[in-house]
Amino acid sequence: MTPSPDDPRLRLSGIAKAFGGIQAVRGVSLDVRRGEILALCGENGAGKSTLAKILAGEIAPDAGTIALDGQPIHLPDPASAHRMGIAVIYQELNYVPTLTVAENVLLGRLPHRGPIVDWDAVNREARAILAPLAPHLDPRLPVAALPVAERQVVEIARALSLDARVIVMDEPTAALSQQEVHRLFALVRHLASTGVSVIYISHRLDEVFSLADRIAVLRDGALVDVWAVNQTNRAELVRAMVGRSVEELYPRRESTPGEPMLEVRDLSRVGKLVDVSFSVRTGEIVGVFGLLGSGADVLVKALFGAVRADRGEVIVGGRSLGLPTPGRARRAGIALVPGERKEEGLVLGMSVRENLSLSTLSAISEWGFIKQRTERTHAVEMVRALQVRTPGIEVPVGRLSGGNQQKVVLGRWLQARPRVFVLEEPTRGIDVGAKVEVYRLMENLAEEGAAILLVSSELPEILSMSDRILTIADGRLTAEFRRGAVTQEEVLDSAIGGAAA
Amino acid sequence: MPLGEPRPSPATGFDTATSSPGAHDDLRSPPGAPVHPTQADLSERGARVTLGRLWDAGIGLLVVYAAIVIAFSQLSEFFLTKNNFLNILVGVSILGIVAATQTMVIISRGFDLSVGSTVALAGVVTAEILNAGGSDPLAVSGAIGVGLAVGLVNGLLITVVHVNPLITTLATLSIVRGIAYVWTDALTQSFPGPNLRWLGTGRVFWDIPVSVLIMLAVFVVVWLTLRFTTFGRSLVAVGGNPRAALLAGIDVGRVQLAAYVISGLSAGFAGAILAAQLSAGSPQAANGLELNVVAAVVLGGASLAGGRGRVWGTLLGALIMETLRNGLVLTDVSSFYQMIAWGAVLLLAVVIDQLRRGEGS
Ligand SMILES: Nc1ncnc2c1ncn2[C@@H]1O[C@H](COP(=O)(O)OP(=O)(O)OP(=O)(O)O)[C@@H](O)[C@H]1O
Ligand SMILES: [Mg+2]
């Protein structure tokens, strides 16, 4: 059979995959056209990543066939997917942390002269590949030294530079802020205009509507709907995904903040943070917004003592911790939900139950012995409250889907009932239905008197959930806004404005 | 195995704090089953004993052990006797006590190579105290004190100064052994027989040697600690992902320090028992013990990368090694061949374990 222009770029027929007894993907048949951007939506655990991994040649489907430009293809391993021109950006990032940005971008195809790597060419080519997405990123830095968002950019840049016919992107923007997202979209649209087909997986519905040509919805592993983007709307999409309508994404509330609970004074770290001072009162949610490299991530880690600050003071409930250590911060009642769940949030070999109780061990134990029943009850309660989709609390947490893992990271600290919550991208990878639950939980916590610092790259989330919004750029706080009295543009401006200054 | 997903930990009944369901049966739910299982559902699942879990629970090791026992019972008529069995148990007690606590160190992503030297120095100190007229309890306390000191030095260097554990304990291995030689002028220090006899050759109940009971007690305590205590859980978390443990507010340094101190204490105590068995403290004692200890722990199913270990597996590993040694001696095999056999069994057991794990996932 010769390929004809009428054949779809990619045709999936009856693809199915089960893990043990869980049917992750059920008979999915789907066409992706040439130069089309197809969004793939669905709840946490719906089977999106499984489908992506099948296309990456990483998981073999139990049933079904795949055809590329009319030719049936077989993908026994990632290398053959590569050869076929299918590039996949994974939800859980895959990089070699000790290698430099350039080496990661050009992994497996480093320019060389004979057996000698041509380092000038490596850096030059990497810079060219990175230019449209992150013009300021130095390709000679080790990836380990970069914040999550920049690591994600490196991944994306690598995949986009592969000359692929099909690109699958599994939540590429989960840690990116608007500016990077805009650059990414421009690039993706450009690629699509040259005939590349893109499968775009995301929980950010705004992005889906602004980028996609068509939207496909997976539910419990089955394809339930496919629409052209102008034939549907947000409400309908959400209903298809979660099976009910989600009325109010951001629960509103009246807040009456009390005494200052968290006070930060002159927190500084060479080259990263400059005299950062602010406070969060009981019952208050303070949002922090910054672009790539703004220092928001360092601020979070320094607050908890996971990154050592050079100077400054952290005060909780009127008592100074000096420069905190993680142990002291926890005992003082600070909780940190870190941004990168796989590396910082979870012990992957441990069960869901064990991960959930990691920060409350002393509270659920007597004489150093863990109260087994209490631990189990708490775990079951948390799993239900956050709608974690898992076969049971004894399953290793690494087997859950990305969004469900994120819920476990969140749940750990919800149990600890701390006085100060520092949330770094708390809803990263969480579906719309569960997001509402998370926001409600945040509201409840604030109402019960917790002080919450919310660091997020999602502007609507920051704008709707925060009582006050702080912007950070180049390690300095650049502006403060009150809720309701500010627009996205203003916040963005002061986040960028600082960077330019 | 998908790249982005972690390798599922092979779970076992013997598994310490990470009691994860190994078999995929545990994940089975009928198609169309409710997405959010009921409360009973959630906590019951994964608790069931399945064939897969039994297999995971160290059956491979048991098979190796049975094979060794059967082989030697064919080769020597003295092998399968009660007395010889007690010999094996006494022979394994020192190794066992030290290996039990080493399991904790290895689970926390650490390594303690100084245990053999600590046993020796503790034995020397025991003998010196007794010869200077000290009482039995004082002598044992002295031995434990030696262990405490070595454990603290190891732990502080590793957790405060952040020296690599392998290098740190390799250095203290040499230093502590050296101190034992200098102190004794390289001479074995005998002490009068009646001292510490209860500890060395005492027997209780059905003729069970005291040292064997002590070893079993140590194993039970370590198992309880790993399975049921906050400290045990912290050890597993620190070994599994130190960064996540830190950000969960666990005092990673303190947990690791405690592991080294416990390892030192147990080596010190084992030194007193060995001295009691020999009625002497010798600076050469327990030479190379650290390798047997690490071998037993790894044979037992612990991961050298941390985060996973099985206490009872360690006991089985120690038993396999001692039984092998005992059988080879009984069958008059030269010590050179013993070395070869030792290595072969270590490889065999680890290979079987690897194959089993491959099947499990
Ligand atoms: N390696 C695995 N072993 C067992 N079950 C798995 C494995 N990988 C995925 N699953 C299960 O398959 C189902 C689908 O997972 P998948 O990762 O495809 O979801 P997803 O749609 O990407 O969700 P999310 O939005 O949370 O990323 C989930 O129930 C998950 O628990
Ligand atoms: Mg996913």
Nearest residue in A to B33, CA atom:
A22
Provide the pLDDT for residue B9: 36
Tens of pLDDT, residues B19-69:
333 333 333 333 333 334 444 445 444 444 444 455 455 677 788 788 889
Q: Which residue has the tokens 């769940």?
A: A341
- B137-155 average pLDDT score: 96
Taking residues B142-163, what's their average pLDDT? 96
Which of the listed CATH numbers 1.10.260.40, 3.40.50.300, 3.40.50.620, 3.90.180.10 matches domain A10-246? Answer: 3.40.50.300
Dihedral angle computed from the Cα positions of residues A80, A84, A89 and A91, in that order, rounded to the nearest 10 degrees: -50
**Band of residue B238 on the pLDDT scale cut at 50, 70, 90:** very high
Distance CA B104, CA B155 (A): 13
Ligand with the closest atom to the CA of B1: 1
Q: At residue B3, does pLDDT exceed 70?
A: no
Q: CA–CA separation, B274 vs B92, rounded Å?
A: 11
Contacts of B36 in chain A (CB under 8 A): 384, 387, 389
Domain at A260-496: CATH code: 3.40.50.300
- d(CA A45, ligand 2 centre) in Å: 7
Q: Is A401 close to ligand 1, i.e. is its CB under 6 Å away?
A: yes
ipTM for the whole complex: 0.82
Residue B288 CA, chain-centre distance (Å), reads: 15
Residue-wise burial string across B335-360, b where 16 or more C-beta atoms lie within 10 A, e elsewhere: eeeeeebbeebbeebeebbeebbeeb
The percent of residues above 70 in pLDDT, for chain B, comes to: 81
Nearest-CA residue for ligand 1 atom 27 is: A402
Smallest-distance ligand from the CA of A24: 1
Nearest-5° Cα angle at A208, A207 to A212: 120
Chain B contact set for A379 (CB, 8 A): 42-43
Q: Is the separation of the CB atoms in B226 and B104 below 8 Å?
A: yes
- Enumerate the residues of chain B whose CB falls inside 8 A of the CB of residue A346: 241, 244
CB contacts, 8 Å: A94 with chain B: 3-4
Whether B42 and A393 lie within 8 Å, measured CB to CB = yes
Continuous H helices in B76-110? 82-107
Q: Is A305 in the pocket of ligand 1 (CB under 6 A)?
A: no
Single-letter amino acid, residue A356: L
Helix axes A119-130, A148-160, angle to 10 degrees: 100
Query: pLDDT tens digits, residue range B184-200?
Result: 998 999 888 788 888 88
CB–CB contact B17 A354 (8 Å): yes
Residue of B nearest to A304 (CA): B247
Joined tokens for residue A60 = 């073999």
pLDDT at B211 over 80: yes
- Domain B77-360 sits in CATH at 1.10.3470
Average pLDDT, rounded, for chain B: 82
Side chain identity at residue A296, one-letter code: A
Q: Check residue A396 and give its pLDDT.
A: 92
> Rounded to the nearest 5 degrees, what angle is found at the Cα of B15, between the Cα atoms of B12 and B20?
60
Q: Is the CB of A389 under 6 A from ligand 1?
A: yes
Picking from B7, B230, B247, the nearest residue to A306 by CB comes out as B247
- Closest atom of ligand 1 to A42 CA is 21
Residue B261 has pLDDT above 90, yes or no: yes
Q: Which of B65, B23, B64 is nearest to B352 (CA)?
A: B64
Q: What percent of chain B is modeled with pLDDT above 90?
A: 50
pLDDT of residue B51: 47
Which protein residue's CA is at the shortest distance from atom 12 of ligand 1?
A24
Query: What is the spatial distance between Cα B116 and Cα B138, in angstroms, rounded to a whole number?
Result: 22
Q: What's the pLDDT at B159?
A: 94
DSSP B157-213: HHHTS---HHHHHHHHHHHHHHHHHHHHTT--EE--TTTTHHHHT-EETTTEEHHHH
> What b/e string do you get for A31-52 counting C-beta neighbours within 10 Å, with b at 16 or more?
bbebebbbbbbbbbbbbbbbbb
Q: Retrieve residue A212's tokens.
A: 């996609």
pLDDT for res B332: 84
In sequence order, the β-bridge partners of residue A112 are A117
What per-residue confidence (pLDDT) applies to B357?
Answer: 56
What pLDDT is attached to residue A436? 86
Low-confidence ranges of chain A (pLDDT < 50): 499-501
- How many CA atoms, within 13 angstroms, populate the side-chain half-sphere of residue A155? 27
The partner residue sitting opposite A348, judged by closest CB among B6, B11, B254, is B6
User: Which amino acid is it at B40?
Assistant: A
Banded model confidence at residue B267, pLDDT cuts 50, 70, 90? very high
Query: What local confidence, expressed as pLDDT, does residue A3 receive?
Result: 56
Domain ranges across chain A: 10-246, 260-496
- pLDDT of amino acid A152: 81
Name the pTM for this structure.
Answer: 0.83
Which 3-state string (H, E, C) describes A221-254? CEEEEEEEHHHCCHHHHHHHHHCCCCCCCCCCCC
Contacts of B249 in chain A (CB under 8 A): 326-327, 329-331, 335-336, 359
Q: Identify any residues that bridge with A222 across adjacent strands, giving them in sequence order.
A: A219
Q: A78–B4: do the CB atoms touch at under 8 Å?
A: no
A46 lines ligand 1 (CB under 6 A): yes
Residues B324-361: tens digit of each pLDDT? 888 888 888 888 888 888 888 778 766 765 665 554 33
pLDDT number for residue B353 = 59
Q: Among the bound ligands, name the one nearest to the CA of residue B26.
A: 1
pLDDT of residue A353: 95
> CA B123, CA A413: separation in Å to the nearest integer?
48
Closest CA to A178 of A93, A291, A287: A291
- Listed by start position, the domains of chain B span 77-360
Give the one of A23, A53, A351 whose C-beta lies nearest to B19's C-beta.
A351
